[in-house]
Amino acid sequence: MSSKTVGVIGAGAWGTGLAQALARGGHKVVMWAMEQDVVDGINNKHENTRFLPEYILSDNITASLDIKEVATNKEFLILASPSLFLASTVKKILDVPSIADGSTCIGVLTKGFVPSDSGPKLILETLESVLPRVYKKSLVYIAGPSHAEEVAMGKLTGLIAASENPKNAIRFRELLNVKGLMVYSSLDVIGVQICAAAKNVVAVAFGILDAVSETSDDFGDNAKSLLFAAGLNEIQTLGFAMGATHAETFASLSGVGDLDVTCRSQYGRNRRFGQDIVKTNLLDKFNDLDDLISRINEVGYLPEGAVACKYVHEITEHHGIKLTICNSLYRLLNKEFSLDDILKGLIPN
């Protein structure tokens, strides 16, 4: 495939890791970041020391503080901003000609849910309400077991490109056909989005059990596998309640694959968050889940599962579905249950 021009909106770890993979494949990538030090580091030292330190980036990657410059005249644009700021960020580029006329193909990396007056919304649903109508059912959602560190290093990684527009999914598959990446298409955009968001909730619970099992006579590897399997079932239940269309989504890279790496990898922030709840009593400094979310920067890293847990709870209440793991974690983070209460409830008589 010939070299393409690619803009990446958001210079966090995942956006930077994928930008590095694309640049390694010969594409010209321009990244937008809000932070001057991130832009200077990428342009002058070829390193994103704030969000993906210790990785030397390709000369094919540059960065800018000007979001419109990054979005203008790009064949492909990849959105990687945090979910809470995604809509407001995208509104800044609506008057860019190649966005206004729909000539730029847009892919999305952002995971999670977006709050609204009518309840939590999925990422693509939110974007379609903001972007020009030409993008309706044409966005491509990119997900899978893909820690940024390994993607940046070029280690083999599988991804799903999900879109209701098969041609656009194929276009992104071709763009991402670079060393280290294997990309597959999916039409189940809802199911893939649910997997990407809800797996972080299960991973927090997995981290808690992982830490507890180090000193417990009651919990070990068998219990962690039990939690993993039950968590996957809950993700599938949530997915179908929200409109997922393909059962195989949950048995594929976007489902079991992404859940596995998020729960078990050394790079997993959500697993680490769960471990810290046990090992450092991290929740003691927060009054409830809303307080935790409002002060989440005090954690020192971003556990997306804590935020997603609140929205999953709201969705289960709305749909009247029972998700034992997700709802138990919600009550723990919201200070309604103690960890001892939850663990005792798991031990058979």
Structure tokens, 216: 């417990």
83 Cβ contact list (under 8 Å, min separation 6): 110, 111, 112, 113, 114, 123, 307
User: Residue 255: its pLDDT value, please?
Assistant: 97
User: Residue 344: its pLDDT value, please?
Assistant: 82
pLDDT average, residue stretch 44-70: 97
Residue 347 has pLDDT above 80, yes or no: no
Give the chain's mean pLDDT: 95
* 199 is a catalytic site residue: yes
End-to-end Cα spacing for the chain:
61
pLDDT average, residue stretch 51-60: 96
Q: Which of 22, 302, 53 is nearest to 31 (CA)?
A: 22
With cut-offs at 50, 70 and 90, classify the pLDDT of residue 267: confident
Q: What percent of the chain has a predicted confidence (pLDDT) above 90?
A: 93
The 3 state secondary structure assigned to the chain is CCCCEEEEECCCHHHHHHHHHHHHCCCEEEEECCCHHHHHHHHHHCCECCCECCCCCCCCEEEECCHHHHHCCCCEEEECCCHHHHHHHHHHHCCCHHHHCCCCEEEECCCCEECCCCCCEEHHHHHHCCCCHHHCCCCEEEECCCCHHHHHHCCCEEEEEECCCHHHHHHHHHHCCCCCEEEEEECCHHHHHHHHHHHHHHHHHHHHHHHHHCCCCCCCHHHHHHHHHHHHHHHHHHHHHHCCCCHHHHHCHHHHHHHHHHHHCCCCHHHHHHHHHHHCCHHHHCCCHHHHHHCHHHHCCCCHHHHHHHHHHHHHHHHCCCCHHHHHHHHHHCCCCCHHHHHHHHCCC
Distances in Å between the Cα of 295 and the Cα atoms of 85, 286, 288, 310 are 16, 8, 11, 15
Residue 35 has pLDDT above 70, yes or no: yes
Query: How far is 53 from 72, CA to CA, in rounded Å?
Result: 28
305-330 pLDDT, tens digit each: 999 999 999 999 999 999 999 999 99
Among residues 167, 199, 224, 344, which one is catalytic? 199
User: Residue 6: its pLDDT value, please?
Assistant: 98
User: Residue 349: its pLDDT value, please?
Assistant: 52
User: Residue 154: its pLDDT value, please?
Assistant: 96
User: Residue 348: its pLDDT value, please?
Assistant: 65
User: Residue 117: its pLDDT value, please?
Assistant: 87
Structure tokens, 277: 């709840």
User: Residue 1: its pLDDT value, please?
Assistant: 61
- Identify the residue with better confidence: 13 or 1: 13
284-305 pLDDT, tens digit each: 999 999 999 999 999 998 899 9
216-227 pLDDT, tens digit each: 999 999 999 999
Residue 42 has pLDDT above 80, yes or no: yes
112-162 pLDDT, tens digit each: 999 888 889 999 999 999 999 999 999 999 999 999 999 999 999 999 999
Q: What percent of the chain has a predicted confidence (pLDDT) above 70?
A: 99
Distances in Å between the Cα of 302 and the Cα atoms of 74, 82, 194, 213, 270 are 30, 10, 19, 24, 8
